[in-house]
Structure 1
Amino acid sequence: MSGLLIENDAKEIPPRFGTSSCIINDQLYVWRGSTNIRSGSEMRTEAKSLYSLNIATLKWKVVATNGELPKATAAMEMCAIEQTIYVFGGWEMFGRHNDVHRLPLDDKMTWELVKPVNPTEAPLNKDKFGMVEHDGRLVVFAGAAEADIRQSKPGVMFFSYDTYGFGWTNELHVFDPKTCVWCVPDTTGETPQPSAASSFTKVSPHLAVLFGGRQKDGRVNDLAILDMDKWVWNGVFHPLTPQTLWPEGRSFHSAVSLLDPTTVQSSSSPKLLVLWGLSDGKPVGNANKNERSGEVLDDAWVLDVKQVTWTKVSSLKAHGRLWHNSTAYYLSPCECQVVTFGGSPVDLYRFGSNNKMSDTILMEFGVKTLFRSCAMYINENRRLFENVLCLLPVQVLGYVNDCVRYDRAKKIF
């Protein structure tokens, strides 16, 4: 395991939180995000709302797009289906949304609003939910939603906060981009409680893991596993005793699968990495239970999904943040690079959004293939091989050259 920290130039990619991202080929795409928690303001320059990171060189660039851009500026979710980016939901200064937009990565780079044929079956306008891809469809779960005439329907728990009517949900929806149809699958098992700002991560061809989040009475460390082939919730897990090794409750964390979820075999146990986030912290003065200081966490955990056991990763300490974004890029079925961008080192709701982060952290997990190990060694010792590099096949030489790292990268563990 190793990690690199890249201090990005604010002109290259401005600091922000609440972004969404996905990886297509060897490019990480980051969409929007916010700079101000108070007013919900956004990066106003639309041509600079989409950025891409070349994972090999760790260099950012602006991706010019056009068409009907998503309205939401933060707390939306993004998924890749083949060579197309899909964005759903999110919020901006005028409220939450439940629109689906897509961006084919072709010569036109044109955003398109995908209109469902059954809009009354769509999820509520929401943000801070989870979304994964399964069999070419978008699976959407939980989130903070605005109150409307459906507030009494199952799967929605509303309450009043300040002057806004909204609440947590545990509604589950599936959207098929080919037919433009929303559906609500019938699930069995114990459905998780309504929550928002949890993580919802695909860890195998048919399993997704829900962890943490904010529920009405505070931030939790609940764990649930959804079988998306059978639509079965495999329990809601909690620590069995106070001594059980288990992450504390949190929200605004991130989570990724350490094994390529498209190739994990049924005989293997998926691994889930959970990074940082915000805990409940301590009560503020004479505040009630829902008014707490909030503590930014600097811990990281790995879950063995099959055994439902946690391991704390001590070497990732001291890089804590919340409302950041983490995405995994799989070099092989058992080797991945986790890219984390943005976020904040403080509780945004208590201290405002002056403390935004624009750095990029790249972490490598797993066992390198012999081919990749050799390529990296050649790249790091080019002088030893400068007379014979020309003899390498073009594709191999290209791979060696792609092992170059950004010159501003600093090794952090």
Structure 2
Amino acid sequence: MSDAPPDDAWLDAELRRLLSFGRRVAHPLGGAAWLDEDGVPDLDRPVHTWITSRTVHVFGLGALLGVEGSAEVAAAALRGLTGVLHDEEDGGWFAAVGPDGAPVDPAKAGYAHAFVVLAGATAATAGLDGGEALLAEATEVFERRFWDDAAGRVLDEWDRAWTAPVPYRGLNSAMHSVEAMLAAGDATGDRTWPERAARLAGLATDLAATHDGRLPEHFGPDWTPDLELNRDRPDDPFKPFGATVGHGLEWSRLLLHVEASLGDAAPAGLLETSRLLFDRAVADGWSADGAPGFVYTTDWDGTPVVRQRFHWVVAEAIGAAAALHRRTGEQSYLDRYAEWWAYVDEHVRDTERGSWHHELDPHNRPAATVWPGKPDLYHAVQATLLPRLPLAPGLAAATAFPAAG
């Protein structure tokens, strides 16, 4: 790849290469399997609702783009959400089931349920059988169980029977709830959903303003930040200690989608916060230890904590740079965009075994301390689509109805 950013033909070819890697993802139980380094299902691992939902989403996008075989893969994953992962007794979705189909994590997680909403929105837009019904149920469960309308926030987790929510609140589930609510609005035409997304986005704008662009991830039930949580296990894949560089970048992009979705009704200051989050994440995270790549997390003064490089972080950097360039037209964002694609091409894309290396060590060598295998196409696929589509509507709607953008 040259120093110039990739053109649309290259991005389309990369998307198709990624989907080809995941073509065997369907699990015999229904849902999506965890894929190893070669794209072979690891059937000894649980079937996760978040991976299954992301699989419906990315292969639903593939179906909308006319990628052969994508509709069948999306449909197989969707059957997991209507079957083995669905709690027929208490409603909602288990976080994961084991190889025998029994729940191994019966918690009702907001993070997973947000992705079920996203899957339903994409499946409905792509015309997949059962997509509209999945979206209807997922939005009903999400609104009733996870959306706290009085606070404009989301709950993070319940016990299986919905007896009581756990006291923990998390920015990760809040972030993906914004994404899910925007997608639900696109698929249903109900403006209540992007309006809720804007209210929830206010959490990120407030936190960015009070923490110098670094976003606390963990909170108590009243949304008081817990800045020390998991200091003893800082590389947790979902609840790491410190500021998560990739989430600063992801929020930077999502705020621009909220702004574009609501137009004149959008809250003020979203662009300014998007810039702040982007600048802080790049200053703290990119080549922070002298080698190219983004570190995973930093302490609250910007010192790197976990220096592993994860594929999803640079994918989100690409998406954020593309979004900011589209919003502002400024060359600096395009330069970063080209720089990070060049890094992906040199270090992250696995042209021998397929997909992207999910984890690299601080010297950019393949590693598997946090993310063994290659279970997730979501971030990489979106990195190939976001630069080619408008900020609103979202990926599925913009792909299905390109004139709307």
**TM-score in terms of structure 2 length:** 0.36
Give the structure with the larger helix fraction.
Answer: 2
Give the structure with the larger strand fraction.
Answer: 1
The structure that has the greater radius of gyration is: 1
Q: Larger relative contact order (C-alpha < 8 A, sep ≥ 6)? A: 2
